[in-house]
Chains A and B, each alone.
Chain A
């Protein structure tokens, strides 16, 4: 063992971080639920492991999702991650080839130029030397972009960038120093021993012309080793911990581990896998209302720092826009809801007064939901259509019914929500219906996600009305109306229903395509998910969305959510309708033209 002293900081650092990561991974994985641990065990020796490796390559090294969002941002991350990875791999192969064995001291591959001062003679040795110089240049291009981003983040497709805390700053300094110091010490060594390649050798020769290289060589390698050590030791307290944790996340996610309604090991893994890239800041519409401290990146940072407060936890629309844009693919909405459940355990309501009982028999159970009761024109239109098509339905929440439970769930009142879910489930199942028809996307999502309704198909009225049209049970007529369709968050990003509303509407009017639609749709600002936001702030978000719509000059704004409709209606004179109203208006117009009879409007 003739390890030079300067290599020790690096060796200690790398040992520290590997041991730390192994311990923390064991803690997190044992913190998973029993069934999740079984999932990992069962899937470990399957193709899923290879799929996970492939995904690690794509996302952690190449940063494919980042590329999709912004090529410059993607390139910056790729040059760091993939460049460094290749530098390590190439270094090891180079050392292995040189020593004709895989069994060589580890430090020698990292500090190869210091260990082997003989100039490369063979073609292969020259190629390795050139490759490592090339990779250094490649990484440098990323370092320069990163430096530039600190001053101007616009070219990276980001309006905002996150603020750094002390741990981040230390790790960041370490990270930025690693490659320049490596460049400098390799150049110095090349200046003395002529073992450099096309990049380091000329630099070395230049430095040799005015510096006593012999006397500063060892010091320069010390600096390199120390900067590596600084980075590794600062890693656990910095955002760069996301690098190893993201890899762990990709594996356990691939094995089928999912978020639960309580905090466990997987919640921890997701929390620490956040790279704090700040992409979510740009997705968040609350910035329009000057709410700058509760976005996902800050929320996760607070969990990590154990400084989470209700003010920030509950100040979120749960619109899911950040989740769609998150390059790490974190379940940001559910992470927040889980935290809300943790923080509201003691405040749960009782609901002793909920009544059970036998429901009337019907083919279809119609559940309008509270919000549709507050927008009676939607309810009236739906009832008219159902009567028109002669559907045997039971209007479940006509007089008295409990809420679907989703608003409670969003507020973290999980136990209370479960009571409502139980009560509603009983009523729905005892009706013998095969279809549960809902007019509110908020209800639709919880009926699909948290109810167990065997043999019952949950349908949003956009899907159901489309089916009635396809079966020829209701007529269509195309009216000369140009409209924009607003995808409600819970129906779109929440439940991935994008096409049925559009297909349905195309039978009755013309749709103007928008940039802000489907996955990229905006939130109306009225979300029930946020219980901290002020009315004025909601208004600012709403008006901003309405301005976006107005830029397309629509005759009407069509949506599929009573809450969106209510929110928008307060802010504009443009007609706002739910698609049920559009359909009923179409039917009555058609009937009027065909038979000259007048139906109720």
Chain B
């Protein structure tokens, strides 16, 4: 039986591995954290239909239970040796030896480190949080409060933090933050009906079929206000409320606004795991840091190295449904490959 090792036990890794296991392959998932599920464990509800994130993880765990595969959690690869036929022998940090006829890399992403954008004041000002922090608060059922324990009267959502920003080296669009911001603004508005929500955006990118509706209902039902312009800096007042300095590019005027809470919609960046695996398996990376795909139309799961497949957000920003689709396509590609090499 052909052996496959999947590196990264997030949703992409699990979806692809379980699919492959059901096809009859011997699959091992290596996950560096204690639990599988990856970033999905930190999320509350998903756009566009507010499906609880647990439904996704439940679906995946059920799939795991129905398939015969090995999962090594709390484990990383410490050494990989390529053999002439393109298979690998791997050594884990727990000195386990593994054989892999093919490798699937699904190391995922890291949210952009908002402290790098120091002018936004993350980790300097108490009332500046990221979309990940907010999602965690919502998941744990915590009320949305300012650092002083008050209900925020005004919340600003800042789009494109770490995306489409040459200054921090990320020129690409992270694709999911616009809709996430609008989803979160709606959730906040529902919890705080008397508060005002502002989205500071560059462009609103609503490419999903149902997303435009969400954008419309944010404006019409929830009265979320959209201001076109990037925030230049945030300052803190004595009472820990914040002043946003920005330019309203539609009216062409500078703008100053007092808000109680700022939510930074952080982008998707290739994580450390992706970088480490790229160097371990000598995979090419794009200028933006994500793994290089062999062909944008016909080889989206092929890395620059034959026998090493890639899936999920280690390749670039993706929504959850796109990630699952991409993982299933990876399973098909690996099956084709292993059938051919015999």
Q: CB within 8 Å of A: which of B187-239?
A: 232-236
- The segment from A59-67, A182-190, A317-325, A370-378 found at the interface with B is A370-378
How many Å from the CB of A318 to the closest CB on chain B?
19
B166 touching A374, Cβ below 8 Å: no
A539 touching B118, Cβ below 8 Å: no
CB of A590 within 8 Å of the partner chain = no
B169 touching A374, Cβ below 8 Å: no
Per-residue CB proximity of A219-239 to B under 8 Å, as 1/0?
A: 000000000000000000000
Determine the chain B residues whose CB is within 8 A of the CB of A566 once the complex forms.
Answer: 118
Q: CB within 8 Å of A: which of B227-284?
A: 232-236
A535 to B169, CA, bound (A): 8
CB of B124 within 8 Å of the partner chain = yes
Given contacts A570-B167, A570-B169, contact A373 B233 (CB under 8 A): yes
A570 touching B168, Cβ below 8 Å: yes
CB of A380 within 8 Å of the partner chain = yes
Determine the chain B residues whose CB is within 8 A of the CB of A570 once the complex forms.
Answer: 116, 167-169
A569 touching B124, Cβ below 8 Å: no
Q: Which of B115, B116, B119 contacts A373 (CB 8 A)?
A: B119
Nearest-CB residue, chain A, relative to B121: A376
A569 to B169, CA, bound (A): 12
How many Å from the CB of B185 to the closest CB on chain A?
25
Determine the chain B residues whose CB is within 8 A of the CB of A376 once the complex forms.
Answer: 118-119, 121, 124-125, 233-236
Determine the chain A residues whose CB is within 8 A of the CB of B116 once the complex forms.
Answer: 569-570
A373 to B118, CA, bound (A): 9
A373 to B125, CA, bound (A): 13
Per-residue CB proximity of A170-210 to B under 8 Å, as 1/0?
A: 00000000000000000000000000000000000000000
Nearest-CB residue, chain A, relative to B128: A376
How many Å from the CB of B196 to the closest CB on chain A?
22
A377 to B115, CA, bound (A): 10
B166 touching A569, Cβ below 8 Å: no
Determine the chain A residues whose CB is within 8 A of the CB of B236 once the complex forms.
Answer: 376, 380
B167 touching A375, Cβ below 8 Å: no
Determine the chain A residues whose CB is within 8 A of the CB of B119 once the complex forms.
Answer: 373-376
A380 touching B167, Cβ below 8 Å: no
Nearest-CB residue, chain A, relative to B245: A373
Q: CB within 8 Å of A: which of B66-94?
A: none
B166 touching A380, Cβ below 8 Å: no
A380 to B119, CA, bound (A): 12
Given contacts A373-B119, A374-B118, A376-B124, contact A535 B235 (CB under 8 A): no
Determine the chain B residues whose CB is within 8 A of the CB of A565 once the complex forms.
Answer: 118
B167 touching A377, Cβ below 8 Å: no
Q: Which of B118, B121, B125, B167 contacts A535 (CB 8 A)?
A: B167
How many Å from the CB of B167 to the closest CB on chain A?
7
B235 touching A373, Cβ below 8 Å: yes
Nearest-CB residue, chain B, relative to A381: B124
Given contacts A535-B167, A569-B118, A570-B116, contact A374 B124 (CB under 8 A): no
How many Å from the CB of A567 to the closest CB on chain B?
9
How many Å from the CB of A600 to the closest CB on chain B?
10
A376 to B169, CA, bound (A): 21
Determine the chain B residues whose CB is within 8 A of the CB of A377 once the complex forms.
Answer: 118, 124
A518 to B196, CA, bound (A): 51
A566 to B236, CA, bound (A): 19
How many Å from the CB of B6 to the closest CB on chain A?
27
Per-residue CB proximity of B140-170 to A under 8 Å, as 1/0?
A: 0000000000000000000000000011110
A566 to B118, CA, bound (A): 8
How many Å from the CB of B241 to the closest CB on chain A?
14
Number of A residues near B (Cβ < 8 Å) is: 12
A539 to B171, CA, bound (A): 13
A571 to B239, CA, bound (A): 33
A566 to B233, CA, bound (A): 13
How many Å from the CB of A63 to the closest CB on chain B?
44
Determine the chain B residues whose CB is within 8 A of the CB of A373 once the complex forms.
Answer: 119, 233, 235
B235 touching A380, Cβ below 8 Å: no
Nearest-CB residue, chain A, relative to B113: A573
A410 to B234, CA, bound (A): 27
Per-residue CB proximity of A515-546 to B under 8 Å, as 1/0?
A: 00000000000000000000100010000000
A217 to B16, CA, bound (A): 93
Determine the chain B residues whose CB is within 8 A of the CB of A569 once the complex forms.
Answer: 115-116, 118
Chain B CB within 10 Å — which of A373, A376, A539, A565 has the most? Answer: A376
Determine the chain B residues whose CB is within 8 A of the CB of A380 once the complex forms.
Answer: 124, 236
Determine the chain A residues whose CB is within 8 A of the CB of B234 once the complex forms.
Answer: 376
Nearest-CB residue, chain A, relative to B234: A376
Q: CB within 8 Å of A: which of B165-179?
A: 166-169
How many Å from the CB of B273 to the closest CB on chain A?
15
Determine the chain A residues whose CB is within 8 A of the CB of B115 once the complex forms.
Answer: 569
How many Å from the CB of B203 to the closest CB on chain A?
20
Chain A CB within 10 Å — which of B124, B168, B233, B236 has the most? Answer: B124
Per-residue CB proximity of A339-383 to B under 8 Å, as 1/0?
A: 000000000000000000000000000000000011111001000
Determine the chain A residues whose CB is within 8 A of the CB of B167 once the complex forms.
Answer: 535, 570
A566 to B235, CA, bound (A): 17
How many Å from the CB of B14 to the closest CB on chain A?
29
Nearest-CB residue, chain B, relative to A370: B233
A375 to B233, CA, bound (A): 9
A539 to B166, CA, bound (A): 10
Q: CB within 8 Å of A: which of B94-138?
A: 115-116, 118-119, 121, 124-125
Q: CB within 8 Å of B: which of A546-601?
A: 565-566, 569-570
A566 to B169, CA, bound (A): 13
Determine the chain A residues whose CB is within 8 A of the CB of B168 once the complex forms.
Answer: 570
Determine the chain B residues whose CB is within 8 A of the CB of A539 once the complex forms.
Answer: 169
Nearest-CB residue, chain B, relative to A562: B118
How many Å from the CB of A394 to the closest CB on chain B?
16
A376 to B234, CA, bound (A): 8
How many Å from the CB of A599 to the closest CB on chain B?
15
Determine the chain A residues whose CB is within 8 A of the CB of B125 once the complex forms.
Answer: 376
How many Å from the CB of A284 to the closest CB on chain B?
23
A184 to B125, CA, bound (A): 81
Chain A CB within 10 Å — which of B118, B167, B169, B236 has the most? Answer: B118
Determine the chain B residues whose CB is within 8 A of the CB of A375 once the complex forms.
Answer: 118-119
A254 to B116, CA, bound (A): 48
Nearest-CB residue, chain B, relative to A378: B118
Nearest-CB residue, chain B, relative to A600: B126
B233 touching A535, Cβ below 8 Å: no
A377 to B233, CA, bound (A): 12
How many Å from the CB of A396 to the closest CB on chain B?
14
A140 to B168, CA, bound (A): 55
Determine the chain A residues whose CB is within 8 A of the CB of B235 once the complex forms.
Answer: 373, 376
A375 to B120, CA, bound (A): 9
A376 to B167, CA, bound (A): 17
How many Å from the CB of A188 to the closest CB on chain B?
66
Nearest-CB residue, chain B, relative to A567: B167
A380 to B237, CA, bound (A): 11
Determine the chain A residues whose CB is within 8 A of the CB of B124 once the complex forms.
Answer: 376-377, 380
Nearest-CB residue, chain B, relative to A379: B235
How many Å from the CB of B20 to the closest CB on chain A?
35
Nearest-CB residue, chain A, relative to B167: A535
A539 to B288, CA, bound (A): 13
The 17 sampled A-B contact pairs (Cβ below 8 Å) are A373-B235, A374-B118, A374-B232, A375-B119, A376-B124, A376-B234, A376-B236, A377-B118, A380-B124, A535-B166, A539-B169, A566-B118, A569-B116, A569-B118, A570-B116, A570-B167, A570-B169
- 10 closest A-B pairs by CB: A374-B119, A535-B166, A375-B118, A377-B124, A376-B124, A376-B121, A570-B168, A373-B233, A374-B233, A570-B116
5 further A-B pairs in the complex, CB-CB below 8 A; given A373-B233, A374-B119: A373-B119, A566-B118, A569-B116, A570-B168, A570-B169
